[in-house]
C-alpha cells in the first residue's frame, strides 16, 4: 500500500515549499502540491517540516580504544540515531595493526548487520599501511566503502606523513575521499608528558595538552600534502578558528577542502574542564572543547557554507567506571562523548531557531552535503522521486529538555543534560517504513547496509 505524507513543508537546500509526498514501497514516488489519497495510508503533517533523513557520518559504535569499549553499540547507538531523526550513520570500521582491511570490514559488518535500527555504511580507518593493504583499496570500493579515515594523533592508529601522501594518491585514483583527524600526535604526546611531570593530572590538563595550534599545524600539514597529491580532502571534527584559517588559505589556492564540525564544538566550551568532582571528565574528547571565539567562528562558517557537514563523533563512555579510569591521571580518561541522538534537535534549536543557519542549510549540512561527499546521493540525502523514502516529519512546536533519564543512548550521561530543545520528529520513515512515532521507536533492527559509490566532490562555494 502506498503512503502519503500530507500538508507538510518540504525542506531542501535549494528552498522549501508546501507539498504532499507519496511513498511507494521503499522509495519516494511523487511530490506534488496536492495528492489524492486514493486508498493510500495518510499521515497528516500539517504544521510540520519534512527533512530528508539526517545522516551522521561520524560515529564510533562498538569500538575499543584498547582500554575501554564504547558504551553504545549498533543496537543502542542506532536506536538513538533513529529516534532523533538520523536515518543513516557512517561508522568507522577500524583496522587493527596487522589486520587486513577485508577483516576489519568483516568485523564491522558482524557488529552492525541485523542489529542496526537505521541504515549504515562504513568508512575504513587505516592504521597499518603496507603494500598488501594498498591492494585492498579496490576491494573496499567494490564493497561500497569509498571513504577512508586517517589519524595524525593516537600512537596505535596514526600514519606518518609519507603514508598520508601515498594513501591520498591511492584514494584519489579511485575517486574516494579521505577524512583526517588533525592533531599533531608528537606534540600531544610531549605536552601530556609535560603535564604529568608537573603533577597536573586533572581533566583541566586535557585541553592544555591539545591547544589550538596542535590542530592548526596538523590541518596545515595535511592540506599541503593534499595539494602535493592533488587530492580533494575532508577534515573531520574541525574545532578551532586557527585550523579554519588554514582551510581558507588552502581553498584560496583552489584546493577542494571539505570540512566537518560537531555540535559539541558549537554548543560547549572549555569552561567545562573546570567543574568539580571530576565531572569535567564527561567532556574529555579530542580535539577538546574550545574557546567562545572558536565557537563563533564555526557558527559563522556554517552560515557562510564554509563548513560543509555537521556530524557528531559519537564515541560514548560511561562516566562511572569508564571515564573514572582517569580519575588520577587525565591521560587515561577514554576520549569521547555521546551525541548521535540529539544532533538534529540541538542544531534545529540553536542553529535554525536562533537564526545562525537556515532550515535549508540544516538540510544541507545534516543530510544532502554528507550524502554527496560520501557517495550516497541521491539514494540518500534527497527528497526526489526515486530516492529512498527516508523522511523526517519534524514537529517544530515540540518543546522538551534533553536528559540522560530519557534517551536511547546506552550511556550514563549526556553532555547536553538540561538543555532546552525545540522540535523533534513526529514521525521517521526509513525506506518507507515508519520506525518512529512521537519520540518512540516503533520498529527496530530495520537498518540496511548502504553500498556507496564514488565521492561527488560537489562544487562548494559559489
Ligand atoms: N576523538 C574522540 O574524542 N573520540 C573518538 C576518537 C576521536 O578522535
Ligand atoms: Zn577523530
Ligand atoms: Zn571520531
The answer to whether residues 23 and 104 belong to one domain is: no
Q: Cα–Cα distances in Å, from 420 out to 77, 155, 273? A: 22, 39, 22
- Clarify whether residues 369 and 236 are in a common domain: yes
175 and 28 fall within a common domain: no
Q: Could you tell me which residues come within 8 angstroms of residue 185 by beta carbon, excluding any fewer than 6 positions away?
A: 151, 152, 153, 154, 155, 158
For residue 145, what is the domain's CATH number? 3.20.20.140
Q: Cell for 386? A: 526515486
- In a shared domain, residues 102 and 217: yes
Q: State yes or no: pLDDT of 119 exceeds 50.
A: yes
Question: What distances in angstroms separate CA 183 from CA 91, 221, 239, 444, one per listed residue?
Answer: 20, 10, 11, 37
Residue 93 domain-assigned (yes or no): yes
In a domain? residue 404 = no
Ligand 1 atom 8 nearest Cα:
286
Residue 310: strand pairing partners? 261
Q: Is residue 379 part of a domain?
A: no
Whichever domain contains 427, its CATH number is: 2.30.40.10
Find the ligand nearest to 313 CA: 3
Bond into 378 cis (ω within 30): yes
Does 35 share its domain with 73? no
Provide mean pLDDT across the span 204-211.
98
3-class secondary-structure state, position 352: helix
Instruction: Confirm whether 462 is domain-assigned.
Output: no
At residue 128, φ and ψ (nearest 5 deg) are -140, 85
| Alpha carbon of 222 to ligand 1 centroid (Å) | 18
Residue 462 has pLDDT above 60, yes or no: no
The span from the CA of 50 to the CA of 17, in Å, is: 10
Ligand 2 centroid to residue 288 C-alpha, Å: 11
Confidence of residue 457 (pLDDT cuts 50, 70, 90): confident
pLDDT category of residue 458 using cuts at 50, 70 and 90:
confident
263-284 average pLDDT score: 97
Is residue 314 in contact with ligand 1, taking CB distance under 6 Å?
A: no
Domain co-membership, 414 together with 342: no
Read off the pTM: 0.98
Which pLDDT value is given to residue 461? 52
CA dist., res. 120 & res. 132, Å (int): 27
Q: Is residue 450 domain-resident?
A: no
Question: Does residue 163 belong to any structural domain of this protein?
Answer: yes
Is the CB of 286 within 6 Å of ligand 1? yes
Measured at the CA of 335, the angle between CA 233 and CA 330, to 5 degrees, comes to: 130
Confidence at residue 459, expressed as pLDDT on a 0 to 100 scale: 72
The reply to whether ligand 1 has any atom less than 6 angstroms from the CB of 22 is no
8 Å CB contact between 50 and 382: no
Mean pLDDT throughout 367-393? 98
Quote the ligand 3 centre to 263 CA distance (angstroms): 13
Q: Is 312 in the pocket of ligand 1 (CB under 6 A)?
A: no
User: In the structure, what pLDDT confidence band is assigned to residue 460 with cuts at 50, 70 and 90?
Assistant: low
The whole domain housing 34 covers: 3-51+389-398+409-441
Same domain, residue pair 142 and 10 = no
Are residue 334 and residue 425 in the same domain, yes or no? no
Mean pLDDT of 217-227: 98
Residue 142 shares a structural domain with residue 247: yes
Query: Which residue, among 406, 411, 444, 438, has the nearest Cα to 339 in the 3D structure?
Result: 411
Q: How many domains does the chain have?
A: 2
Same domain, 263 and 367: yes
In a domain, 403, yes or no: no
Residues 29 and 97 in one domain: no
Residue 258 to residue 215: CA distance in whole angstroms: 16
Please tell me whether residues 8 and 128 are part of one structural domain.
no
- Tell me, using a 6 A CB cutoff, whether residue 181 lines ligand 1: yes
Would you say residue 452 lies in a domain?
no
Residue 327: pLDDT over 50: yes
User: Cα of 217 to ligand 1 centre, how many Å?
Assistant: 18
Distance CA 348, CA 223 (A): 31
Amino acid at each position: 500500500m502506498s503512503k502519503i505524507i500530507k500538508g507538510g513543508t518540504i525542506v531542501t537546500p535549494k528552498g522549501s515549499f508546501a507539498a504532499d509526498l507519496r511513498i511507494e514501497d521503499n522509495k519516494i514516488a511523487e511530490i506534488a502540491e496536492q495528492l489524492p489519497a486514493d486508498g493510500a495510508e495518510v499521515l497528516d503533517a500539517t504544521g510540520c517540516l519534512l527533512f530528508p533523513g539526517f545522516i551522521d557520518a561520524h560515529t564510533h559504535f562498538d569500538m575499543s580504544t584498547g582500554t575501554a569499549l564504547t558504551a553504545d553499540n549498533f543496537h543502542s547507538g542506532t536506536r538513538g540515531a533513529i529516534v532523533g531523526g538520523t536515518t543513516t550513520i557512517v561508522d568507522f570500521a577500524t583496522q587493527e595493526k596487522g589486520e587486513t582491511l577485508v577483516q576489519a570490514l568483516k568485523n564491522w559488518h558482524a557488529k552492525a548487520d541485523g542489529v542496526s535500527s537505521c541504515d549504515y555504511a562504513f568508512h575504513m580507518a587505516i592504521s597499518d599501511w603496507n603494500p598488501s593493504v594498498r591492494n585492498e583499496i579496490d576491494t573496499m570500493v567494490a564493497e561500497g566503502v569509498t571513504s577512508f579515515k586517517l589519524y595524525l594523533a593516537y600512537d596505535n592508529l596514526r600514519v606518518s606523513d609519507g603514508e598520508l601522501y601515498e594513501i591520498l594518491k591511492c584514494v584519489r585514483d579511485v575517486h574516494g575521499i579521505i577524512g583526517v583527524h588533525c592533531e599533531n600526535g608528537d606534540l600531544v604526546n610531549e605536552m601530556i608528558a609535560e603535564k604529568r611531570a608537573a603533577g597536573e593530572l586533572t581533566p583541566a590538563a586535557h585541553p592544555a595538552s591539545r591547544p589550538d595550534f596542535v590542530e592548526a599545524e596538523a590541518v596545515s600539514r595535511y592540506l599541503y600534502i593534499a595539494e602535493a597529491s592533488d587530492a580533494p580532502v575532508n577534515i573531520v571534527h574541525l574545532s578551532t578558528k586557527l585550523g579554519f584559517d588554514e582551510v581558507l588559505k588552502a581553498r584560496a589556492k583552489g584546493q577542494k577542502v571539505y570540512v566537518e564540525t560537531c555540535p559539541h564544538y558549537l554548543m560547549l566550551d572549555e569552561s567545562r574542564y573546570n567543574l568539580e568532582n571530576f565531572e569535567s571528565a564527561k567532556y574529555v574528547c579530542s580535539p577538546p572543547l574550545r574557546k567562545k571565539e572558536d565557537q563563533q567562528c564555526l557558527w559563522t562558517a556554517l552560515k557562510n557554507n564554509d563548513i560543509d557537514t555537521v556530524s557528531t563523533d559519537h564515541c560514548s563512555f560511561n562516566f562511572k567506571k569508564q571515564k573514572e579510569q582517569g580519575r588520577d591521571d587525565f591521560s587515561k580518561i577514554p576520549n569521547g562523548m555521546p551525541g548521535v541522538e540529539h544532533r538534529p534537535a540541538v542544531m534545529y534549536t540553536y542553529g535554525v531557531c536562533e537564526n545562525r543557519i537556515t532550515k535549508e542549510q540544516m538540510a544541507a549540512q545534516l543530510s544532502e552535503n554528507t550524502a554527496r561527499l560520501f557517495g550516497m546521493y541521491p539514494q540518500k540525502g534527497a527528497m526526489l522521486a526515486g530516492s529512498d523514502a527516508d523522511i523526517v516529519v519534524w514537529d517544530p512546536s515540540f518543546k522538551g529538555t534533553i536528559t540522560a533519564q530519557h534517551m536511547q543512548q546506552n550511556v550514563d550521561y549526556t553532555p547536553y543534560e538540561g538543555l532546552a530543545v525545540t522540535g523533534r520528529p513526529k514521525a521517521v520513515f526509513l525506506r518507507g517504513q515508519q520506525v518512529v512515532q512521537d519520540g518512540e521507536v516503533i520498529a527496530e533492527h530495520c537498518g540496511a547496509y548502504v553500498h556507496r559509490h564514488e565521492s561527488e566532490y560537489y562544487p562548494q562555494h559559489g
